[in-house]
Amino acid sequence: DALTPHALEQRDLEALVGKALAPDLDDRYASASALRDDIQRLLANKPIHARPAGWRYRAQKFVRRRGGEIVVAAVAAVALVTGVVLHTRSLEASRDVARAEALRTERTRQYLEDLFQGSELPSVKPESVRVATLVQNGIREAVGLRLSADSSLQIDMLGTLGIMSERLGNFVQADSLTRMAVARATALYGPDYPETLYQRMRHAIVLGRLNQRDSAEQQLRAIVELARNQKTDPKHPIIAEASLAMGSLLRERGQPAQALTYFQTAAELSRTRDSTSREYSQALRELGNAYGEALEFTRADSAFLRALPIVRRRYGPRHPEVAFLLSSLGFIASQQGKLDEAARYEREGVDINAAWYGPNHYLTAASKGVLAQTLIRMKQFDAGAQLSRETIDAFTRNPDLGPRSVYTAVARSTLGVALAGKGDHQGAVREYQQSYEILHAVVGDSARNTITLASRLALEIARQGYPDSAVALLRRELSISEKAYSAANPYTAQVRAHLGEALVADKKYAEAIEVTRAS
C-alpha cells in the first residue's frame, strides 16, 4: 500500500534503529560513519541502506525528495496542452509551494531560536542547559558538515547559530557565522533568491550591532529593494522581515519618521499572514517604539498593548520577549508622567531578564537603564545612579560592546542626569562629556541622542559658571537639529528651549525671550 509521508519516515527510522541495535554484530552498521551516512540520507529523503531498496520504495523516496519538481514538470506539460489559463494556474501553484516552503523554514528557525532563547517554565534557566556550550558544539557540527551532504541544512544551521550567538551577545561570532551562511546561500541559490536575502539580512543586523551602521543600512536598503521586485512573491515573509530590520536600524540612527513607514509595512504584511505570529508581535513592538520616538504616546501604548497578549500566549508570562514589551510600556508611561505605573512595568521586565540572562547580561542591563530613567524622574537619584552604574559595568564588560558603544554612552548620560539631580554637577559634566565623545564618534553629530546629550552638557556648563560656552554649544546643536529634523520638530524645540535658559544665564534677556517664545 502507498505510505503517507509520516508512515514512510517512521518505517525508515525503525529500520535504521533496528540495524544499529541488531543482536548479531554482522547485521549492524560497519562503522559510526556508516550510521551517520544513513541518518543524513533519512533527513534528505533518500533511500537508506537499512531497508531493502525495491523499486516501489525508491519511487516513494524520489517523490518525497523531488515532489516539487515533479509537480512543476507535470504542470508545465499540461500547460503545453491546455494553454494560457492552466499555465497561469501553475504559476500560482508554484508560488504557493514556495510560500509554504518559506513558512516551513521559518517555523524551523523559530523553534530553534525559541529553544535556545528561553523556556516558558520560569524555573528553567539557560545556564542550566549550558546554552553557550551547545552553540559551540552546533558551530563545529555546522562548519564540519560536508557540502555534498546537505548544503541547505548547513545554511540553516549556520544562520540559526548566528542568531543564537547574537542573542547571547557574542556579535563577533555572529558576524562570522552569518557571513558563512551568506556565502553558502549565494553559492547554492544565487544572490537574489529569498533564502539568500534572508541570510544577508541577518548579517546586516549583526553589522548594526557591531556599530557598522552605514554598511548595515546600505545592505538592508538593497535587500528591501530586491525583496520587493517581481522575482519575489509579495506575500513572502522576507519582505516583512527586511522592512522590520530596516526600520529598526533607522530608528536607532535617529530617523523615526522614516522608520515608521517600514514598521507600518512590516506590521500590515505580518498581520495579513498571521495575526497571532511572533513576526506580528515584533512588528507591533517596533511600531510602538517608532511612535514613541515621534512623541505619539497614545499610538505607541496601543501598539505595545496589542503585542503583549500575543507574546504571553506564545511564550508564557516570564519570557524575555514579555520583558522587552514591559520595558517599552514602562518607558511610554514614564514619558506621559505615569511614573508609578512605569516603574511597575519596568521592574517586572528587569526581573524577567535577570532570571533568564543573569544580572550582568547586556539585555538585563538595557532594561535596568530604562528603569533608572524612571527612578530619576521620581527623584530617586541614588537608586537611579546605582542602576546606571550597573548598566555601564555590564555594557563595558561585554566584549562586543565595550566602553565605546552607543549603549554605554546612553547609560553614562543617564548617570549624569542622576548625579546632577544629587547636586554633583562636576560628576554630571564628566559623564556627559564621556558620553558625548562616544556618540560623536559612533553615530555622528546629527543623531538625536547626540543632540540631546550636547544640550544636557551645555546646561551643566552654564550651571558651572560658563554660560557663554553653553550658549555657543547650544547654537551649534540648534543648527544641526534644524538641518536634520526641521525647525518645527519637537526635539529641535527642546534644544531651542535649552538655548533660552543658557541665554538667561548669560544675561542676554531679550534674545532669551525671543528664543523661548519660539520654542
Average pLDDT over residues 452-460: 91
Average pLDDT over residues 450-470: 91
Q: What percent of the chain has pLDDT over 70?
A: 76
Predicted local distance difference test score (pLDDT) of residue 350: 96
Predicted local distance difference test score (pLDDT) of residue 7: 55
B/e letters for 215-245, b = 16+ CB within 10 Å, e = fewer, are ebbebbeebbebbeeeebbeebbbbbbbbbb
Q: How confident is the model at residue 139 (pLDDT cuts 50, 70, 90)?
A: low
- Residue ranges in 423-466 assigned as alpha helix (H): 425-442, 448-463
Can you spell out the DSSP letters for 127-190? Answer: GGGTHHHHHHHHHHHHHHS-TTT-HHHHHHHHHHHHHHHHHTT-HHHHHHHHHHHHHHHHHHH-
For helices 213-228 and 237-252, give the axis angle rounded to 10 degrees: 150
Predicted local distance difference test score (pLDDT) of residue 165: 81
Predicted local distance difference test score (pLDDT) of residue 293: 78
Predicted local distance difference test score (pLDDT) of residue 391: 96
Name the residue with cell 548544503. Answer: 151
Instruction: Pick from 85-89, 146-150, 408-412 the range whose average pLDDT is largest.
Output: 408-412
CA 62 to chain centre: 38
Predicted local distance difference test score (pLDDT) of residue 167: 74
Q: What percent of the chain has pLDDT over 90?
A: 35
Predicted local distance difference test score (pLDDT) of residue 379: 96
Average pLDDT over residues 153-164: 80
Q: Which residue has the higher pLDDT, 75 or 433?
A: 433
Average pLDDT over residues 416-425: 94
Predicted local distance difference test score (pLDDT) of residue 418: 96
Predicted local distance difference test score (pLDDT) of residue 118: 46
Measured CA distances, 500 to 248, 417, 433 (Å): 34, 20, 21
Phi and psi angles of residue 358, each rounded to the nearest 5 degrees, phi first = 95, 160
For 331-370, how does the pLDDT look when each residue is reduced to its tens digit (9 = 90+)? 999 999 999 999 999 999 999 999 988 888 989 999 999 9
- With a cut of 70, say whether residue 510 has pLDDT above it: yes
Grid cell for residue 138: 552546533
- With a cut of 60, say whether residue 195 has pLDDT above it: yes
Average pLDDT over residues 304-315: 94
Q: How confident is the model at residue 24 (pLDDT cuts 50, 70, 90)?
A: low
Predicted local distance difference test score (pLDDT) of residue 423: 92
Predicted local distance difference test score (pLDDT) of residue 517: 94
Instruction: Pick from 210-224, 241-255, 330-344, 439-453 the range whose average pLDDT is largest.
Output: 330-344
CA 225, 227, 230 angle in degrees (round to 5)?
95
Contact criterion met (CB below 8 Å) for 110 and 118: no
Predicted local distance difference test score (pLDDT) of residue 512: 95
